[in-house]
Amino acid sequence: MGMSSIFVGALVLVILIQAKGQPGFISIDCGAEAGVNYTEPSLDINYVSDANFINTGVRGIITSEETSTHTQRQLWRLRSFPEGKRNCYKISVTRGSKYLVRTVFLYGNYDGRNMLPQFDLLLGANLWDTVTIKNASIDQSMEIIHVSSLDFIQICLVYTGNGTPFITAIELRTLNNDTYVTPGSLERYMRCDLGSNTVYRYGYDDYDRIWSTCDFKENWTQLSVSISDDSFVENEYKPEATIMSTAVTPANDNAPLVIRWEPEHETDEFSVYMHFTELQVLTTNQTRQFNMSGALFLQNYSPPYMRVFTIYSVSALSGKEIKFSLERTENSTLPPIMNAIEIYKVKQFHQSDTFQGDVDAITSIKSVYGVKRDWEGDPCAPAAYLWDGLNCSYQGIESPRITTLNLSSSGLHGKIAPSISNLTMLEILDLSNNSLNGEIPDFLSQLQHLKILNLEKNNLSGLIPPALNKDSLLLRVDQNPYLCEADQSNKKKKKKHNSIATPIVASVGGVLILLVVVAAMLWTAKRRKAKALMLEKDQSAISPQYTEQNDSSLRFQKQIYSYSDIVKITNNFTTIVGKGGFGTVYLGYIEDTPVAVKMLSPSSVHGYQQFQAEVKLLMRVHHKSLTSLVGYCNEGTNKGLVYEYMANGNLQEHLSGKRSQRNFLNWEKRLRIAVDAALGLEYLQNGCKPPIFHRDVKSTNILLNEHLHAKLSDFGLSKAVLTDGGTHVSTVIAGTPGYLDPEYYLTSRLTEKSDVYSFGVVLLEIITGQPVIAKNEEKSHISEWVRSLIGKGDINAIVDSRLEGEFDSNSVWKAVEIATACVSPNPNRRPIISVVVSELNESLSLATELAQTKYRSTDTSDPVKRVTMNLNIESLPRAR
Ligand SMILES: *[C@@H]1O[C@H](CO)[C@@H](O)[C@H](O)[C@H]1NC(C)=O
Ligand SMILES: *[C@@H]1O[C@H](CO)[C@@H](O)[C@H](O)[C@H]1NC(C)=O
Ligand SMILES: *[C@@H]1O[C@H](CO)[C@@H](O)[C@H](O)[C@H]1NC(C)=O
Ligand SMILES: *[C@@H]1O[C@H](CO)[C@@H](O)[C@H](O)[C@H]1NC(C)=O
Ligand SMILES: *[C@@H]1O[C@H](CO)[C@@H](O)[C@H](O)[C@H]1NC(C)=O
Ligand SMILES: *[C@@H]1O[C@H](CO)[C@@H](O)[C@H](O)[C@H]1NC(C)=O
Ligand SMILES: *[C@@H]1O[C@H](CO)[C@@H](O)[C@H](O)[C@H]1NC(C)=O
Ligand SMILES: *[C@@H]1O[C@H](CO)[C@@H](O)[C@H](O)[C@H]1NC(C)=O
Ligand SMILES: *[C@@H]1O[C@H](CO)[C@@H](O)[C@H](O)[C@H]1NC(C)=O
Ligand SMILES: *[C@@H]1O[C@H](CO)[C@@H](O)[C@H](O)[C@H]1NC(C)=O
């Protein structure tokens, strides 16, 4: 108790320093009068009125009974939206920065109707969630961790037929860019200060995260100690001393600490962040050590004393029930503990916001003409809320562009607005039946894609710019009394247009569809000549900037592609061949050659801050055992990598039997794959300066081409994604279960021996055909399983039974020996990769009848000639 009052004293000091306004905080009291600016004393947070962030809606106030039970002032007022389908707040932010965005709702029977509404909440162009008000007297909040790709964010409330949308408060908090790095935005599911009975936020948390007391309905004991701020070491996630000073432990000392929840939908994806600290001074005969198993995997972990250690999942978790347990190890004298846990739902926002140039232009047009329409939020997205009078083009993950602006009969006055010239993708512009005056501006002729321009029934004057008389443009200018007709030939042309105008306008949809069909036919017919077609169709075809022209050994010129090139290469992202960390992989063609195009999802690209530097590095790497990078695209949030296409999918699919039986890997093929992969690793470590650590060696990252040659993929990039071991020693990843070097959990450092460890795990999979983590109750690791069998000396129990005894047992023993050495818990006992390569070659020579012809990295002849003949039939590209 004494400690905690000292703590409060320290807190007041902190607040005095920060009282000027919290840096990185934007706190909006919705419905407060314009100009209102106050500090809510119980929170010490400075709120301002929402007047500067929105032009629509009606201010409201909760009933007096409710104000008496809710003492915080920002909860009293609200803004409701009885009119318009979508109403939006627009808040300036720093582009690329990470924010915690919170919306707060307290109904408080403000409208006297006692009807709890339900409505949708959009974040920019994407659905954030549906808001269901559950109790008139309880303030609800929704939170999302989000990186904005624009210099503002829009929070929109959408009427869905179930009552009037309203909002009470909006709070934005700037987070550390290096925290919560995941593909997608993170919606709060639960944030729990375990072992605590109090809710904490700002004052106890610099980022103003709200920490709740959660009930997991498990039989837990609460632990609590006093921690003084001085003796406590934080990490970049900054759960502060108060949050970390409580924890839970299983009520039964020997029971595991189980975390489990049942998602509403099986497909929901979750990301978990756990914060640990040891609260007890451990005596020499005490240890607290635990394993984590189930959805997350971690071995022999001991929380450090009075220091925060954060463990998080890299891959998203999903399923009917998500469950993992912390189980004390044999050496541990104390049960496992956990101090705090954050569970987020991963939101993949696939819809990009409309192209910023178009947004700026249309916003300017709206204000110049004082357009009285329900023009709120993103103009093009979501497509269901497209602004009235607009049409847009949507291509893959590219930002939508405005293609139609129809402001006919809208009471427009004044001149034709110059901002229209910035809608550069405009195809249809209809300003007919208004009171526009002045001349027809020349800039309209510079809109290259314009097909229909209707200026009828206005008061325009002067000459028609001659440049508008072109065959590609259908121009209508009738009933402008002051407009001068130009010379006879132009007049004739115009007449002609006028007379056919109506039928053409009416059938324009049909024409467009026809064009699409023709284009599609051309595409199919000439897909294999994709590049040539692109050159025919427009001038903006691939304009490569060659980066390494002198490297003649490369099959492709490594290129920088524009996003439109990528759209063409992938035929507008038609065929998905894979989904994985940070993006989707599409099949594409460059000339005759299939390629795999990995597009990083727009919400994850900020995880790749060093994208370009990394890619440059990858461009230099070339080895026959590494999937080669053909090129890349780096246009704003459109980031993509173009790789050579690997027709036979990944090794894991073959080992798990997901692939056709005809492609069954016999022992010799397996060994060749192992040698290939090891050679790739050896090249990365020894052939590159500085050496490259793969960091994510696993059987799904070993790809097989049409001849079943193995190549490593996804190397190097993981570096930008995983936390850099050098500087951040206080966070770890509970990663792809089973492949991560156990030493990593002790040192937080990945070394070349970590890759050797992961490779050893892959080799064990190759030998045994077993999953890395057993699918039974014990969830034992493949290395444990093999070690337990080695003692018995029965090779047949270890080796994949599907090989049906067809192998040389000396060769297999050799491989088992190499693999177990690689997975040695002590990194010093693991062989270096070049030793692995030469030992595997030994094993291979034992396996082949042609023992004298060793398989070498320099060997240019096809080492699997004997089998390719049978395989040709299956070398068609297949989805993986
Ligand atoms: C609100 O008041 C504080 C303190 O006087 C000031 O620093 C801040 O700029 C004001 N904010 C707004 C939006 O006026
Ligand atoms: C986060 O990244 C953005 C864009 O790179 C940068 O502008 C911003 O200053 C960074 N914020 C912090 C808190 O580091
Ligand atoms: C709403 O919450 C209040 C306060 O917690 C509670 O007293 C009341 O019973 C709740 N009403 C309903 C309908 O659940
Ligand atoms: C919780 O654990 C305690 C201590 O092991 C035990 O006495 C109690 O019966 C358990 N309660 C339940 C509901 O399982
Ligand atoms: C640990 O050591 C202390 C004295 O050093 C002793 O009193 C205690 O019983 C020991 N505890 C265990 C679990 O061995
Ligand atoms: C924890 O993991 C280690 C290392 O894999 C293993 O030796 C031990 O048996 C595991 N303990 C439990 C209780 O699962
Ligand atoms: C467990 O304790 C034994 C004996 O002290 C030690 O050799 C072993 O390394 C410990 N295991 C772990 C995983 O710490
Ligand atoms: C928008 O354009 C698309 C494709 O050109 C067309 O199918 C659709 O009908 C148009 N929508 C409107 C509202 O004009
Ligand atoms: C523009 O909108 C008006 C009224 O909705 C419609 O009659 C007209 O055909 C539209 N113009 C074009 C070019 O689609
Ligand atoms: C068009 O966009 C450019 C660049 O965004 C801007 O500088 C210019 O002012 C805009 N032109 C008009 C007429 O709005």
- For residue 629, the one-letter residue type is L
Residue 313, Cβ neighbours under 10 Å: how many? Answer: 22
- Would you say 323 is a known binding-site residue? no
Ligand 7, atom 2: nearest CA belongs to which residue? 331
In this prediction, residue 211 carries a pLDDT of 97
User: CB neighbours (10 Å) of residue 640?
Assistant: 26
Whether residue 258 has pLDDT greater than 90? yes
Does residue 185 surpass a pLDDT of 80?
yes
pLDDT at 348: 82
54, 90 Cβ separation under 8 angstroms:
yes
Cα separation, 432 vs 441, in Å, equals 15
Whole-Å CA distances, 339 to 302, 312, 722, 744: 13, 14, 24, 22
Long-range contacts of 202-206 (CB under 8 A, 24+ apart): 202/22, 202/43, 202/44, 202/45, 203/11, 203/15, 203/43, 203/44, 204/11, 204/240, 204/242, 204/243, 205/238, 205/239, 205/240, 205/243, 206/238, 206/240
Tally Cβ neighbours within 10 Å of residue 482.
Answer: 12
Ligand 1 pocket: which of 27, 33, 46 to mutate (most atoms within 8 A of CB): 46
Quick: pLDDT tens for 236-255.
899 999 999 999 999 999 99
- Per residue in 446-470, pLDDT (tens digit) is 999 999 999 999 999 888 888 888 8
Structural domains in the chain plus CATH codes: 7-175 (2.60.120.430), 220-257+277-342 (no CATH), 356-485 (3.80.10.10), 551-645 (3.30.200.20), 650-880 (1.10.510.10)
Least confident of 240-249, 448-457, 488-497, 770-779: 488-497
* Residue 138 CB less than 6 A away from ligand 3: yes
251 lines ligand 4 (CB under 6 A): yes
Greatest extent of the chain over all pairs of C-alpha atoms, in Å: 104
Give 40-61 pLDDT, tens digit per residue: 999 999 999 999 999 999 999 9
The predicted structure's pLDDT at residue 120:
96
pLDDT of residue 396: 73
Evaluate if residue 11 carries a pLDDT over 60: no
**pLDDT at position 128:** 95
Q: Flag whether pLDDT at 507 surpasses 80.
A: no
Residue 612: its H or E element: helix 611-620
Distance linking the first and last C-alpha atoms of the chain: 60
- Which ligand is located closest to the Cα atom of residue 393? 8
Which atom, in ligand 7's list, is nearest to the CA of 331? 1
**What single-letter amino acid sits at 879?**
A
**What was the pLDDT predicted at 580?**
59
pLDDT of res. 663: 74
Q: What angle do CA 187, 191, 192 make, to 5 degrees?
A: 165
Six-digit token string for 237: 């996630």
Hey, which of 299, 739, 824 would you mutate to test ligand 6's pocket, going by the most ligand atoms within 8 Å of its Cβ?
A: 299
At residue 299, the pLDDT reads 80
540 lines ligand 3 (CB under 6 A): no
- What's the half-sphere exposure (Cβ side, CA atoms, 13 Å) at 513? 4
Nearest CA to ligand 5 atom 1: 285
What distance in angstroms lies between residue 135's CA and the mean position of ligand 3's atoms?
6
pLDDT score of 550 more than 70: no
Query: Ligand 2 centroid to 444 CA: how many Å?
Result: 39
Q: Is residue 583 within 8 Å of residue 599, measured between CB atoms?
A: yes
Q: Which of residues 610 and 302 earns the better pLDDT score? A: 302
Q: What percent of the chain has pLDDT above 90?
A: 46
0.75 exceeded by pTM: no
- The response to whether residue 48 sits with its C-beta less than 6 Å from ligand 1 reads yes
Q: How far is the CA of 32 from the centre of ligand 1 (A)?
A: 15
> To which H or E segment does residue 18 belong?
helix 2-18
Query: What's the pLDDT at 14?
Result: 32
396 CB-contact burial (10 Å; exposed 0-12 / middle 13-18 / buried 19+):
middle
- Characterize 653-673 residue by residue with b for buried, 16 or more Cβ atoms within 10 angstroms of its Cβ, and e for exposed: bbbeeebeeebebebbbbbbb
Atom 7 of ligand 7, residue of closest alpha carbon = 331
- Indicate which atom in ligand 2 lies nearest the CA of residue 24: 13
Per-residue confidence (pLDDT) for residue 689, from 0 to 100: 66
Give the pLDDT mean for 627-653: 85
pLDDT of residue 738: 82
Contact 172/25 with Cβ under 8 angstroms? Answer: yes
Ligand 4 pocket member 521 (CB < 6 A): no
Q: How confident is the model at residue 33 (pLDDT cuts 50, 70, 90)?
A: very high
* Interatomic CA distance for residues 604 and 602, integer angstroms: 5
The answer to whether the CB of 560 falls within 8 A of the CB of 545 is yes
Per-residue pLDDT tens digits for 299-358: 888 998 988 988 887 667 888 999 999 999 999 999 999 999 999 999 888 788 899 899
pLDDT (0 to 100) of residue 870: 24
* Among 684-688, 734-738, 747-751, the least confident range: 734-738
Q: Is the pLDDT of residue 726 over 90?
A: no
**Among candidates 278, 275, 130, which has minimal Cα distance to 211?**
275
Q: How far apart are CA 479 and CA 540, in angstroms?
A: 38
User: Which residues are CB-neighbours of 8 under 8 A, at least 6 positions away?
Assistant: none
Kindly report the protein residue whose alpha carbon is nearest to atom 12 of ligand 4.
219
Give, using CA atoms, the residue closest to atom 12 of ligand 5.
285
In this predicted model, what pLDDT tens digit does every residue of 645-691 receive, in sequence order? Answer: 888 888 988 898 877 666 789 999 999 999 999 999 998 888 776 67
Q: Is the pLDDT of residue 493 over 80?
A: no
- Asked if residue 419 has its Cβ within 6 Å of ligand 10, the reply is yes
How many beta carbons lie within 10 A of that of residue 452, not counting itself?
19
Active-site residues: which are they? 696
Ligand 2 atom with the smallest distance to the CA of 94 is: 7
Residue-averaged pLDDT of the chain: 80
- Dist. CA 720–CA 723, nearest whole Å: 8
Residue of higher predicted confidence among 257 and 826: 257
